Amino acid sequence: MASESITSTEYIKHHLQNLTFGKLPDGSLGLAQDPEQAKAMGFWALNLDTLGFAFLLGILFLYFFSRVAKKATIHVPGGSQNFVEWIIEFIDNSVRGSFSGRNPMVAPLALTIFIWIFLMNLMDLVPVDYLPVVAHALGLPFLKVVPTTDPNATFGMSIAVFILVIYYSIKVKGVGGFAGELALQPFSSDNPVIKTLFIPINLFLEGVNLIAKPISLSLRLFGNMYAGEMIFILLAIMGGSWAAASVGSSSILFGSQVLLSLGWAIFHILIITLQAFIFMTLTIVYLDMAHQEHH
């Protein structure tokens, strides 16, 4: 992309556009060649790059952990086993500290969420032009390599968590208990009339609180990763502009751009880890709340 004569705005739009597959204006199925075509494809379009990288990273996670598990030994463990055991112990401590119920599914879910989101976030450290240039050489119009910068991915994960929260809320508390939790708190009264008047208010407040959980989960992750990707793109544009502006000092300017990118990448390691941890922790907390019975 850097070698092509395009404006900064076009460069940014290109790097933030997903490889979208869906119904084209002529009625056939194919790849969108511009953002307008992608938008016209509507709800049933597929972002192939988001799906592809997400599945590949998920397979990488499962392969690595299963391979280490098969070779695990009670004797002197290797580096891979130590690394996996450290991660599992970290997840186990997080679950024990935030989840008070009994559910064997929570810890594996927390491990999957943390590692999968971390790997997807980690793709943000790949230089912004490397993979899109390869994709362009293969004839693909766009390639967005960070799945978590796509709200479809973050909303998909948060909705899955939301469904689990609803499922366990009904399973643990029953339909009546779950409905009562929504209708009879936070405001209540011993007077039946006042108690009835509080029901619509409680339903509104608790409904907003319930719906806010998946929205906050998805938008927090998407917003942070999207902003980080944008900064990397702006740094790349800055480096190109400096190189074009001054030939004599281009090496100095290029070095400055590399230092800026390296500094942001080092700081961004904290962000990508923190965002994976926050998503995992909130999932554990929400499931813990779903397992608590209110009397």
pLDDT in tens, 234-278: 877 776 565 555 555 555 555 666 677 777 788 889 999 999 999
Closest CA to 103 of 171, 43, 54: 171
Q: What is the mean pLDDT of the chain?
A: 87
CA–CA gap between residue 66 and residue 70 (Å, rounded): 6
Residue 295 has pLDDT above 60, yes or no: no
CA–CA gap between residue 52 and residue 61 (Å, rounded): 14
Specify the pLDDT at position 280: 96
CA–CA gap between residue 78 and residue 83 (Å, rounded): 9
pTM given for the model = 0.88
Is position 241 annotated as part of the catalytic site?
no
240: its two tokens:
């190109």
Q: 47 - beta bridge partners? A: 20
Cβ atoms < 10 Å from Cβ of 65: 17
pLDDT digits (tens, 9 = 90+) for 20-70: 999 988 888 999 998 899 999 988 899 999 999 999 999 999 999 999 999
- DSSP character for 128? T
* pLDDT category of residue 2 using cuts at 50, 70 and 90: very low
The three-class DSSP label of residue 27 is: coil
**Residue tagged active-site, from 216, 241, 246, 249:** 216
CA–CA gap between residue 272 and residue 274 (Å, rounded): 6
CA–CA gap between residue 117 and residue 275 (Å, rounded): 8
Is position 224 annotated as part of the catalytic site?
yes
H helices present in the chain, as ranges? 8-15, 35-40, 48-70, 79-98, 106-122, 130-137, 151-183, 192-245, 250-291
Residue for token pair 């339903």? 203
Is position 220 annotated as part of the catalytic site?
yes
* pLDDT category of residue 182 using cuts at 50, 70 and 90: confident
Residue 157 has pLDDT above 50, yes or no: yes
Please give the angle made by the CA atoms of 92, 98 and 102, to the nearest 5 degrees. Answer: 75
**Residue tagged active-site, from 80, 220, 250, 256:** 220
Sheet-wide strand order for 20-23: 29-31, 20-23, 46-47
